[in-house]
Amino acid sequence: MYRCVFASATAEAYSMRSGSYKTRTASRHGKSCSVFYCHPILDRLNQLVAFSSNFVSENDRKGTGPVTGGNGFVAMHIIRELIEHGYSVIATGRSMSKAEDVYTMYPDWKPLYFECVPDIGTEDVLQEIFKKYHDRSQYIIHTASPVNFAAKDIQKELIDPAVQGVSNILKDAHEYGGSSIKRFVLLASAVTVLNLFEDMSVAGKPYTEYDWNPIYAVSASSPMLGYIAAKTLAEKAAWEFVSTTKPSFGLTTINPDIVVGPPLRKLSKPTALNETNMIAVYNFLNGTYKRIEDVMLLFYYFVDIRDVSSATVAATTTLSASGNRILLVEDELSPQLVKNIIEKDFPQLKDQLPLGGNLAQKFPSGIYPTGWDVSRSSAILADWEGLNGKKWRHHDLETSVVDTVKKILQLEEEWANRI
């Protein structure tokens, strides 16, 4: 039986091997926590998990895709995509209540189990998991990355954890993962490619997989720049590791631009919505943006979350993906375009939208964003064939915004009913 590991920082976990419990003490931020923890809730959860799937028969299972990033916006979509394509999944959440939330919301996601990694930035972070599932893990998908826009110490809170996390997981995969591991897929970002300091008053030469963000040092007062530097330096560290260590597995990075799309995870309040959906969609509805002319984005291209998850699964098995950066940049994105879509498809929300704007003006005055040449990445993804002949395709901006707004309206109704 092959299993997929989902690893993220959490304080509790249950070792679901023949229903047995294990405990091990680990330290996080000076506090001890139980890595494999006996929890009454998980007795019931274990009974809900069958060694078969509603999607794929046990005999047809493809193997493992170890993933970090637990309950994240992107990670939840990857869980679903992995299960649909024949992988067993062992996932972790930050608490057992979150584990129960996943089972309750998605009872058809089987087999789905949970493991614990207290701190993704520590040495030998996945050693125990690789030992436990030795020779069962075939692919590793690393999505976890520190996001803290309130960080005070950029180096300590953002850059170091991101770089150390990537380096430690690559090291553990190389030393403990065994020869069965064939591919390491790193969720990077388009921000590692583009030049954040370019003159946007003039469109530049289209970005390609060979470009790198020139950011190195960051202002102590700019967590956003710190996050971008962390993503860039973490990806560079991954490529450097593969170049110098030459592990048995190949490396592929997934580099998406602004990720938009309906969330799958349980959200208890509006502020729990992921940052990109907040910036690109929800802030148009909640009164944050007052006038379209005043809304400025850092980036003016997007990708749908469902395309990110499909591309990630494709990268685990597509031979041509090994050793490549996969740029996921789809349609143009601008405040005016988003307003136009919501106004057209949700006329009842018109009064909630920012005032002003010009239907014929795509980008803010003086903004001419540099485009992208993704032909190489598209050719690699075209080689993939998924479940029932599924091919990778991209969702256009209107589809993505409409689906996201529908989900947000559903969530708003749930939030209102709790009051």
Contact 36, 24 (CB under 8 A): yes
Closest CA to 391 of 406, 378, 404: 378
Buried b (16+ CB within 10 A) or exposed e, 192-207: bbbeeeeebeeeeeeb
The H-assigned helical ranges of 56-191 are 73-84, 96-105, 127-132, 154, 160-176
Q: In angstroms, rounded to a whole number, what is the distance separating the alpha carbons of residues 109 and 82?
A: 10
Backbone angles phi, psi at 255, to 5 degrees: -120, 85
Contact 214, 197 (CB under 8 A): yes
Is residue 45 included in any domain, yes or no?
no
Closest CA to 186 of 121, 87, 252, 122: 252
Is residue 193 included in any domain, yes or no?
yes
Domains of the chain: total: 1
pLDDT, one tens digit for every residue, the chain (419 residues): 333 433 332 222 333 333 333 333 344 344 333 333 333 344 444 444 433 334 444 444 577 767 787 788 998 999 899 889 888 777 755 566 666 777 788 888 887 777 777 777 778 878 887 887 777 788 888 988 877 777 788 888 889 999 999 999 999 999 998 888 999 999 999 999 999 888 888 989 999 999 999 986 665 568 888 889 999 999 999 999 999 999 999 999 999 999 999 999 889 899 999 999 999 999 999 999 999 999 999 899 999 999 999 999 999 889 999 999 999 999 999 999 999 999 999 999 999 999 999 988 999 999 999 999 999 999 999 999 887 788 888 999 999 999 999 999 999 999 988 76
Cα dihedral sign for 364, 367, 368, 369? negative
Backbone angles phi, psi at 159, to 5 degrees: -70, -50
Is residue 343 included in any domain, yes or no?
yes
Is residue 41 included in any domain, yes or no?
no
What CATH number does residue 201 fall under? 3.40.50.720
Is residue 402 included in any domain, yes or no?
yes
Contact 25, 32 (CB under 8 A): yes
Q: In angstroms, rounded to a whole number, what is the distance separating the alpha carbons of residues 239 and 253?
A: 9
Task: Enter the pTM of the model.
Answer: 0.85
Q: In angstroms, rounded to a whole number, what is the distance separating the alpha carbons of residues 212 and 68?
A: 24
pLDDT value, residue 240: 98
Q: In angstroms, rounded to a whole number, what is the distance separating the alpha carbons of residues 48 and 281?
A: 36
Distances (CA, A) of 251 to 76, 180, 182, 201, 254: 22, 14, 9, 36, 10
Residue numbers of the domain that contains 106:
58-417
Tokens of 418: 């709790």
Q: In angstroms, rounded to a whole number, what is the distance separating the alpha carbons of residues 338 and 412?
A: 19
Q: Residue 137: count other Cβ atoms within 10 Å of its Cβ.
A: 27
Closest CA to 85 of 132, 139, 133, 15: 139
Is residue 14 included in any domain, yes or no?
no
In the three-class reduction of DSSP (H, G, I as helix; E, B as strand; rest coil), residue 169 is classed as helix
In the three-class reduction of DSSP (H, G, I as helix; E, B as strand; rest coil), residue 20 is classed as strand
Is residue 216 included in any domain, yes or no?
yes
Is residue 132 included in any domain, yes or no?
yes
Pairing type for strands 183-187 and 25-28 reads unpaired
60 Cβ contact list (under 8 Å, min separation 6): 86
Contact 362, 334 (CB under 8 A): yes
> Cα 402 to chain center, whole Å?
21
DSSP 354: P
In the three-class reduction of DSSP (H, G, I as helix; E, B as strand; rest coil), residue 6 is classed as strand
